[in-house]
Amino acid sequence: MIIDCHCHAGKGDGLTGPWDTSARLEKYLHRASRAGITKTVLFAAFHSDYSAANREVARIVASRPDRFYGFAFVNPERDRGRIFAMIREAVEDMGFCGIKVHRHDGRITREVCEAARAFSLPVLYDVMGEVSIVELLAVEYRDVSFIIPHMGSFSDDWRAQSALIDHLARHPNVFTDTSGVRRFDLLEEAARRAGAKKILFGTDGPWLHPGVELAKIRALGLAKQEEQLVTGGNFLRLISKAGSRSSRLQAPGSRLQTPPFQIEPTDPWSSEQFPV
């Protein structure tokens, strides 16, 4: 089983570029299945209303719960004061198992980290090169797992990516994903110093080709067991307790394995939902 831990889905409501306009899955799904990717974590594109965007992602996840996981996107600034409620809805009504935050929207806050802690969810936080914050996150929230995508910089900031390796190696709760990372030496260095247990395969689909991204993992030449950690094992470990704390508090016995999908599924292949 190969799990892509980083893919966008649904419509954005901006018109700046693909990242806030539309994340259509048709081509991605075709490419991913040809590459042997069997499961994918979905979260929204940039949006001015993540409650609405998360619900759209939930409908796509609910259309193929065997194929998709969902992460809840929140804006730490605009959603201030309602993060906990949004995350509770995402976990309990949508079956989501993680949180996505992007510094483009706003810097991560204690409110986000505490919601992650309350629901035992990993946080995928794009720091946009601001790697120093990872030191604070890792120490203040030891019991929360942080996935810092693109090794800290989608725009190939070598200084940031290089600096992240130190955090990966030192902090047990800091992870990275491989999506969009071009400087292969840095990936190798991360695997060597921090170990395969700290690296998750991700694609940043549908905008990057999942087959190309997976080829980078193969090129690392890891031992089979280590490669399996990168391509799924690590992710499954990070979400293994997702929602458990709130479930114990509010609905004994109900766990994410039987997510209460209360939403009408959307067919991700439907051209009505994803107009050309």
Residue 247, Cα to own-chain centre: how many angstroms? Answer: 22
Q: Is residue 213 a contact partner of residue 187, using CB atoms and an 8 Å limit?
A: no
Question: Which positions from 198 through 227 interact with Zn ion, judged by CB under 5 A?
Answer: 204
Question: Which positions from 148 through 207 interact with Zn ion, judged by CB under 5 A?
Answer: 204
C-beta closer to Zn ion: residue 164 or 222: 164
Minimal distance, residue 21 CB to Zn ion, in Å:
14
Task: Fill in the per-residue mask, 90 to 129: x = in contact with Zn ion (CB under 5 A), - = not in contact.
Answer: ----------------------------------------
Number of residues that bind Zn ion (CB under 5 A): 1
C-beta closer to Zn ion: residue 5 or 131: 5
**Amino acid identity for residue 253 in this structure:** G
- Residue in the shown chain whose Cβ atom is closest to Zn ion: 204
Minimal distance, residue 253 CB to Zn ion, in Å:
35
Burial of 218 (0-12, 13-18, 19+ CB in 10 A): exposed
Minimal distance, residue 255 CB to Zn ion, in Å:
28
C-beta closer to Zn ion: residue 124 or 131: 124
Distance from C-alpha of 109 to C-alpha of 275, rounded to nearest angstrom: 35
C-beta closer to Zn ion: residue 79 or 204: 204
Minimal distance, residue 138 CB to Zn ion, in Å:
21
Give phi and psi for 43, each to the nearest 5.
-145, 170
C-beta closer to Zn ion: residue 100 or 167: 100
Cis ω on the peptide bond leading into residue 259 (within 30° of 0)?
no
Minimal distance, residue 179 CB to Zn ion, in Å:
7
**Binding-site ranges for Zn ion (CB under 5 A):** 204
